[in-house]
Amino acid sequence: MRLSKIILIFFILFSALPALAQHTALNMPDHDEKAYYFGITFGTNFSEYRIQYTSSFANTDTFKRIQPYWLPGFNLGLMGNLRLNKFVDLRFVPSLSFAEKRLYYRIAYPNDSTVDRTIESIYMHLPVQLKFKSDRIKNFRFYGLLGGKFDYDLAANARSRRNDEFLKVSPIDAGFEIGVGFEFFNPNFIFSPEIKLSQGLVNQLYKTSNIQLNNAIQDLHTRMIVISIHLEG
């Protein structure tokens, strides 16, 4: 299923739920007065590399095509939420993200051939976010989020000494995140589906002279779509 269809299903599925939430008894009426609370988070992610090519890529015959593709993964973590005021919270959501990114490229020289490879990553994901909340409508609320992130890839191969590596990536990344979510208040917990875009700003490409792709790629940045479920107390 294409990524755009998955995102569309997410919004269609949850757009009708606020109307149902308005006709039930008020759950957790004192929750908004809490100075802080915690939760757990889990979900799926879709990640790819955003590539900036070198000038030699267009001027040489080595590579005919280099194309990244989205691949799915999953994430699991914890959440800490600090109330700043009625409409703004500060969130810290440390998690592990298991991600895969696909890279397809076609080599023209010395032999015309295609290569389809997958890059696996295990990110220690450390985002800090501002959560902008709407007024509560019975047992429903909408929110947006904006923040920064620091990622460390536990599976990065920058220091690998293997001779068969086709691409080397650095472990450290930082960037920004934007997203939207919904809160559904139940008697004992909050069910909160969320979707966000996580964009890395650090060049992940580890330059080394013995890898042919380094002559064609200038910058390599990670982009991830994360669809999460938060269970908050």
The dihedral of CA 121, 124, 128, 132: what is its sign?
A: positive
Of 83, 107, 109, 97, give the one whose Cα is nearest residue 196.
97
Q: Is the dihedral of CA 143, 148, 153, 156 positive or negative?
A: positive
- Secondary structure of residue 71 in the 3-state scheme: strand
Is 89 within 8 Å of 131 (Cβ atoms)? yes
- Our count of domains for the chain comes to 1
Q: Write the pLDDT tens digit of every residue in 70-88.
A: 999 999 999 999 999 999 9
C-alpha 223/C-alpha 175 separation (Å) is 10
What predicted TM-score, i.e. pTM, was given to this entire model? 0.84
pLDDT in tens, 157-192: 877 767 667 788 999 999 999 999 999 999 999 999
Q: Which of 110, 224, 133 is nearest to 185 (CA)?
A: 133
Q: What pLDDT does 21 receive? A: 47
| Averaged pLDDT of the chain | 87
Q: Show the domain range for 59.
A: 3-232
pLDDT of residue 34: 94
Provide the 10 A C-beta neighbour count for residue 84.
11
Least confident of 16-25, 62-71, 163-172, 192-201: 16-25
Domain CATH number, residue 139: 2.40.160.20
Amino acid at 43: G
Q: What's the CA gap between 70 and 225, in Å, rounded?
A: 9
Q: Would you say 203 and 219 are in contact if contact means Cβ atoms under 8 Å apart?
A: yes
